[in-house]
Amino acid sequence: MNFNRAVIKVGSALVAPAKNGCSGKYILAIAQFITKCHQQDKEVILVSSGGVAAGRSVIRHGSPELSVSMKKAMSSVGQMKMMANWQRFFDIPCSQILITQDDLEDRERYISIKDTIQIQLENGILPIVNENDTVTTEDLKVGDNDNLSALVAQACEADCLFILSDIDGVFTKDPNIHDDAILIPKIDEITDEIYAMAA
Ligand code: GLU
């Protein structure tokens, strides 16, 4: 494995595959990979989604269309479940880092995040980052955790970013909508043509 410090982003579909609570189904293999990285003296920062999915069963919601407030309420209770789910697969301590767009744009807070993660890595702790859904607004949101993981990778000066999800890779079109979407197994360079495929 050709990296020293990696950010690994794990999507809700892997943390809570049934969308109503956490599971170890996919997390176990990811935790084993992280442990293997640690054994090789590599550093890992995890960006984990799953707060909303893990908290869904505890908040009465009625309709499948969730309001933003509902999602926030689910996320803050699900965050505890998600963290506990990760911790059970590690002997080392995990830390919870909740951040917002504001935090990343403010120089002092940015440095503070960077320093916190640095000290935790030096102490053999696994930092687990998520967006602080309770205080974010639609206008002031990092977006999704794919974006957040890229920003965290920059802040921590990681030399590698893994984005793990239930999608096999980059497709020429959205494979959920287009049957003729084709998987691109490897991209060496982000050309204008590749960029135009992004949705
Ligand atoms: N912060 C959200 C959650 O914990 C995840 C957002 C995302 O996956 O993009 O559910």
Question: Which domains does the chain show, CATH number per domain?
Answer: 5-166 (3.40.1160.10), 170-199 (no CATH)
Q: Which atom of ligand 1 is nearest to the CA of 144?
A: 9
User: 171 CA distance to ligand 1 centroid (A)?
Assistant: 22
| Beta-carbon-side half-sphere exposure of residue 196 (alpha carbons within 13 Å) | 3
Q: Which tokens is 183 given?
A: 């998987």
- Residues 125, 146: Cα–Cα separation, whole Å: 22
pTM (predicted TM-score) = 0.90
- Reading the chain (199 residues) residue by residue, the pLDDT tens digits are 899 999 999 999 999 998 778 999 999 999 999 999 999 999 999 999 999 999 988 888 887 788 889 999 999 999 999 999 999 999 999 999 999 988 988 999 999 999 999 999 999 999 999 999 999 877 667 778 989 999 999 999 999 999 998 888 889 998 989 999 999 999 999 999 999 888 7
Q: Is the CB of 52 under 6 A from ligand 1?
A: yes
Say how far residue 2 (Cα) sits from the centre of its chain: 21
Q: How are beta strands 183-184 and 170-171 bridged, if at all?
A: antiparallel
User: 177 CA distance to ligand 1 centroid (A)?
Assistant: 22
Q: Is the CB of 133 under 6 A from ligand 1?
A: yes
Q: Angle at CA 22, nearest 5°, toward 16 and 26?
A: 60
